[in-house]
Chain A
Amino acid sequence: MKAIKIVTRAIIYPVIASILLWTCQSLLVPKYQVGIMEGAMMHEYYDSDMPHEVLFVGDCEVYENISTVKLYQEYGISSYIRGSAQQLVWQSYYILEDTLRYETPKVVVFNVLALKYAEPQHESYNRMTLDGLRWSPSKWHAIEESMTEKESMLDYVFPILRYHDRWKDLKPSDYEFWFHQNTNTFNGYYMRVDSLPERNFPPARPLNDPNLGRVPMSWLEKMYELCKENGIELVLMKAPTQYPYWYPQWDRQVMEFASSHGLDYFNYIHERDQIGLDMTVDTYDGGLHLNLSGAEKMATYIGAYLDSTYDLTDYRLDPEVSAKWDEVIAAYNELAAAQYAELEEYGELRSWGINAMEE
């Protein structure tokens, strides 16, 4: 009788403690549901219950610049963008590794801008990229590679230790999205419909070292190996946006890497005309990122290449998958309509982006 009591307590106590601490933690961690949404992207992938034959990995130059919906609508390509703000090369590598635990895409498209970073840049970007990943050896390694000086693994394992101080500035959205978060992207694509013409960027600063770092290039090499092992075609791209600068020296090195490894590499900056981009209307923030019309043009252009080069399934013909895509399309159209309506009314977006941030 006494033994049973002890055993029951030994089970119930940790369970209660875990539930309460988890509940606390869920309230205190940032949710990225209003204003800045980049931190919520990474875990949305796990909710997408359809096959993805094309996977985009990289930073904002993928998740804001390519409309996955358009890719599907025009070519029947089912794709997903696993990108996040300033996603570093090794983070992309481990995210690819993480993806392989669930499915093996046929094509992986990697955006090369992140090759410029040889070191982790900022804790908050790390957090936005890594917190949303499910636990796996890949996540562990990604964290180990990414931590800046004052970060610690314990804070990633128990995020409450890092975010506990938010008790002072909890916002209504923290309670609203305590236990449930919305899906805000469309297979990883982050939509903006407003537009702000491309401005003149300051002249490029001369490079101290014309070479891309050894570290990021070695991660690219690893990514290549990983794709090879899994029979995945790796494609390298540079988004058509001009800032941050993509130096000709870097371009040459990536080109050399691509040709020596037998990969395709596209620098879309040079193909703006073919894509049909009009940077007075196709960008929402002065040329840093594309808006919906720009991203759809990009999708049309890149889709043509993917469709003609690889043996991809036309999922429009698959009733099960197309039903799921229809849901995505409906939400996509709904959000686009809502954003256009707001744009019409106020001349700017108020419920999305920086204007929507709570205080």
Chain B
Amino acid sequence: MTEPTAEMIQETKLYKSWGLSDQEFQTISNDILGRLPNYTETGLFSVMWGEHCSYKNSKNVLRKFSNKSERVLAGPGEDAGIIDIGDNQAIVFKAESHNHPSAVEPYQGAATGVGGIIRDIFSMGATPIALLNSLKFGELDDSHTRYLAEEIVSGIGGYGNCIGIPTVGGEIAFQSRYKKNPIVNVMCVGLIDHDDVKYGKATGKDNLIVYVGAKTGRDGIHGATFASDEFTDSKSTQRSAVQVGDPFMEKLLMDACIELVHEHSDWIMGIQDMGAAGLVSSTAEMASKASSGLILELDNVPQRETEMTPYEIMLSESQERMVLCIKPEYEQNITDFFTDKMLDAVVVGKVTTDGQYKIYQRGKMVCNIPISGLVDESPEYKRISVKPDRIADSKEQFRPEIKSLEDVWLKILRQPTIASKEYFYKTYDSQIKANTVVQPGSDAAVVRIRDTKKAIAMTNDGNSRMVYVDPFIGGQMAVIEAASNLVAAGAIPIGITDCLNYGNPEKPEIFWEFEKSVSGMAMAGKKLNIPVVSGNVSLYNEFNETAIYPSPMIGMTGLVEDIDNVITQGFKNSGDLIYLIGETRNEFNGSEIQQLQLNDVKGSLSKINVDQIKDRFELILDIINNKLINSCHDLSEGGLAVALSEATFENKLGFKCEVNMPKEYLFSETPARFVVSVSKDNQRKFEDIIGNNGAKIGVVTDDNRMNIKTIGAEATIELSVAMSIWKEAISCLMKKN
């Protein structure tokens, strides 16, 4: 096949099918090149100017986030953000979405998502210590959804288990809007010494560009533009963009890169992983960061298939590949080093000073464009923003209807979003590396740092129902909820990475959701002093024109200074006193009970006093660090009734409580509340510290019962009944045929 000429591309508007607009094509031709781009060049622009690489629709909104704190060593713009944790150590973390690939080929889509995020971490020189994920599926009564859930979870486990990084936590939610467009967000956390940090830079004239890892095939070409496109039933041709992950290859690559950074740091100037948009995105960004130029020789690129065109080689998204920039005198050392690790490393280019991106194949120049034009001069759009009709202005709250409290309580425990996710997370190796102190199932996962007293707490959270009913407050709640998870474990929140999953931003209502929810998250992050250091945007999450709920995912990390203070959510001793910290209000819009009773969520959310919540977090950390409490659990979906139930399951201890509120309030979802248990010996000291911020509501019992009295009602549930309902709900649904 011969490639169309530049003139043909212009005439037939081929660029449009690759996602470039007429205006963008004109800018490239007239302002950047001063001529028409050829086939390869058009391809490079279309992928680099796609939303996935350029953030052209989102970057003006993303500027709302604060990425500064006294701990931030590197923020957005690198492969991952870096946060200081003292003692010359830092953590490196990032989250990424792989929604579209997972919809098409769930196992491989999810697996390669994990592979990609791990590369982002070790490409900075860090050792990955933990993985988390946030998954959103349709309802499990649908067989295709069950298939997607099973395969996505097994893809995540398959990759993470094989490479040997513990998958320690995350969230899973279910809602029919995700039926054909599941959300697959994965996060990786790495550990590094300050001196070992490597950036993805191609710097210094005549330094060499080295390609390491798997060979390049035609897989995933235009995966990056594909990620910026909506799904419809008819678009099956797009579906060739599937890549297969090879966790074994990645394990070799990871170990080699980490060893290289530790032992031979002087050989290399920069490392970058080849992720979305493969060779072009990685090399062009490396050059852009150093204001360098590059020459690439495509004949040297290891190829799995024959007759690949420059376009295909540059845009291939074959997995498990890295790019290094090295000093020429170490070329032999580098190739020998990688050969010993069973990996191919070949020189594919060199750094120049002219700022041009020059690519050759079989002696012929196939691309000559300014790197700044490709990377830095991508367009930026301020999309039109219109408030959707569904957004309610009235302050009216949904009123739950509760005839039998026991009945509603058990129904709530059976809801898949509430029920135990053990069926899924038991398939992840959460203990490998022997550092996991708090395993999946508690508020936050905690991983210790060997040879120190420190530990890192982490969580993935984002209640999209709340964001859907009120993007601004829902956005605030996402940050507050994640922070509450960490605080409940005894950690100080120190950083955020996000995955922002939305529908088509060209629709004004969708853009409004995006803008408002980011504002909410940014505002809460700033007030709580938790910087956003990395992230990812996934737009066009729609199927047949119906968008998903606006679904920002907050990946948050926290620092535990003394691992002896780590606390879990479960009650520990019969006789301990139970306290509820934080006021419970008449707040049911967007709640689990509203979903249960209306099969829908709606209404507005009440304003949140973030400053007051910040003080509450400090109070909780204070009582934890003074060793005054034995358990701490933050309240989220399902409210107090669910939080109390979950606190009983860990050690099979019951409770007897009495609250001064109507029975409906047991299911209120007022944010940033905590249930804690205190031994009687500490009661005095504890009450002195909390003052009127909390109230004693009951006592932990060993009679295998949950008993609660409200104003005008009382309920008693056998622990074994509640527990089996909560534990078995999801596996029962998954085993249906």
Do A and B belong to a common assembly? no
Binding site for A on B (CB under 8 A): none
